[in-house]
């Protein structure tokens, strides 16, 4: 039915006034402009409700003069918004709000259009106005919380989402955003509890699973991170990133065979991620499957040719398969790819690979070369001490531990605090031997 047919049919069959009283007769309607305008308005609203936005606009635009009420402007604005004409939508909704400033529904939709139009600050002011005017209007609180979160205003977002979960303790989505905002502010314990509460309500909520897994991973609690990543992966088995995360956790847990299997799953799902191949290669290195390691790193380098660490690990893999010339070539490329001031990192990574394979003499040489290039390299100095300790060279290990502690005396980062604690413990043990 066309717009005109719909209008004539409405006029001739049934007119419903604002009071809800049914009246018949085409003649009465056509003789009464007010009734005609009511029909146009009602028809436009019905068309909008049916998703016929272009027809709704045509119907509502037929209303002229003083009959263009705030309701007409509102539905016109919504119709234009649905047609992706945000400029007209914004102007009409603002006009509706100006005409009826206390109508929170008008203001709410106006705020949404402002946000979509790239004016989040104005949208935030509208949401804040609504929240003060009507504390029971939950959709406004929700949108305000999302907007604050997206703007990285985490402290303010926490206040909003805390209110939402207080109003509705079963609102798992608000728990998720609250927990995520807390984690950005480094309130890790509170973030963990909040995300766990989200998962208590909705155990399979994917965003909360991955967010909580990341918190456990960052805190070196790899077993729990692995459990959560695995649960998330079961829901989205085509997600290569989750298999990559699983593999990383298993690598830290020294479950190298399982890690290799996870990285293989990752590359099957996304063959364009160099880091997936690199981690697969690293797993093969740790399992001493050097041919497979070399193949994985060569694949990684076809995707990312400027990563010096890939060349370093490829060098190690090739050297273990007696491909000496290829190993030398890869090593030269590693040194070329690194900036001169970062060449020490080449040797640190090489030393780490030798260390985990218990090739301590080779590891010590690599760490000493790193220290020669960069005497203030804390990682090289610390691991040189550990390597001397493993080689049972107690006098040299003691000197190296003390050298490291002097270097990091003023470093209060978490990583160095843990290393300093370990170094001091080893010094005491070595002194008592």
Q: Is the pTM of this model over 0.75?
A: no
**How far apart are alpha carbons 230 and 116 in whole angstroms?**
36
**How far from the centroid of its chain's Cα atoms is residue 201's Cα?**
21
What is the DSSP annotation of 332-379? HHHHHHS-GGGHHHHHHHHHHHHHHTT-HHHHHHHHHHHHHH-TT-HH
DSSP 44: H
Which structural domains are found in the chain, ordered by start?
1-68 (no CATH), 366-433 (1.25.40.10)
Contact 229, 245 (CB under 8 A): yes
Distance of CA 43 to the CA centre of its chain: 44
Residue carrying the six token digits 């996304």? 270
Give me the tens of pLDDT residue by residue for the chain, a chain 433 residues long: 554 454 444 443 333 333 333 333 333 444 455 658 888 889 999 999 999 999 999 999 998 877 789 999 999 999 999 999 999 999 999 999 999 999 999 999 999 999 999 999 999 999 999 988 888 899 999 999 999 999 999 999 999 999 999 999 999 999 999 999 999 999 999 999 999 999 999 999 999 999 999 999 999 999 999 999 999 999 999 999 999 999 999 999 999 999 999 999 999 999 999 999 999 999 999 999 999 999 999 999 999 887 888 888 888 888 888 776 777 677 777 767 766 666 787 788 778 878 887 889 989 998 998 898 889 899 999 999 999 999 999 999 999 999 999 999 988 888 888 999 999 999 998 887 6
Burial classification of residue 66, based on how many CB atoms lie within 10 Å of its CB (0-12 exposed, 13-18 middle, 19 or more buried)? exposed
């Amino acid at each position: 039915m066309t717009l005109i047919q719909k209008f004539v049919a409405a006029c001739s069959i049934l007119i419903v006034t604002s009071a809800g009283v049914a009246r018949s007769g085409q003649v009465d309607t056509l003789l009464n402009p007010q009734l005609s305008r009511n029909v146009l308005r009602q028809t436009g609203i019905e068309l909008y409700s049916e998703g016929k936005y272009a027809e709704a606009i045509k119907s509502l635009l037929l209303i002229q003069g003083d009959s263009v009420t705030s309701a007409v402007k509102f539905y016109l604005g919504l119709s234009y918004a649905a047609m992706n004409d945000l400029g007209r939508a914004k102007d009409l909704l603002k006009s509706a709000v100006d005409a009826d400033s206390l109508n929170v529904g008008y203001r709410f939709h106006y705020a949404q259009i402002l946000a979509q139009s790239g004016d989040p600050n104005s949208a935030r002011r509208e949401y804040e106005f609504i929240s003060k005017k009507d504390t029971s209007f939950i959709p406004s609180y929700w949108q305000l919380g999302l907007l604050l979160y997206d703007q990285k205003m985490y402290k303010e977002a926490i206040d909003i989402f805390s209110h939402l979960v207080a109003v509705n303790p079963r609102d798992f989505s608000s728990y998720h955003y609250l927990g995520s905002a807390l984690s950005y502010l480094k309130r890790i314990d509170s973030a963990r509890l909040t995300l766990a509460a989200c998962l208590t309500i909705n155990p399979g909520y994917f965003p909360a699973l991955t967010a909580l897994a990341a918190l456990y991973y960052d805190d070196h609690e790899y077993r729990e991170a692995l459990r959560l990543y695995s649960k998330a992966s079961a829901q989205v088995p085509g997600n290569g990133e989750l298999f990559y995360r699983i593999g990383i956790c298993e690598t830290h847990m020294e479950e190298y065979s399982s890690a290799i299997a996870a990285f293989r799953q990752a590359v099957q799902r996304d063959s364009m991620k160099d880091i997936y191949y690199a981690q697969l290669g690293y797993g093969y290195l740790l399992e001493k499957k050097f041919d497979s390691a070399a193949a994985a790193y060569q694949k990684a380098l076809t995707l990312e040719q400027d990563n010096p660490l890939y060349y370093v690990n490829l060098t190690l893999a090739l050297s273990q398969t007696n491909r000496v010339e290829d190993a030398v070539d890869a090593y030269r490329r590693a040194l070329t790819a690194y900036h001169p001031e970062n060449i020490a990192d080449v040797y640190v990574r090489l030393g780490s690979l030798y260390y985990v394979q218990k090739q301590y003499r080779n590891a010590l040489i690599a760490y000493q070369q790193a220290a020669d290039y960069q005497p203030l390299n804390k990682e090289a100095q610390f691991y040189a001490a550990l390597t001397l300790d493993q080689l049972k060279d107690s006098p040299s290990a003691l000197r190296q531990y003390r050298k490291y502690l002097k270097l990091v005396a003023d470093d209060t980062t978490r990583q160095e605090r843990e290393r300093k604690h370990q170094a001091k413990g080893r010094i005491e043990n070595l002194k008592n031997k």
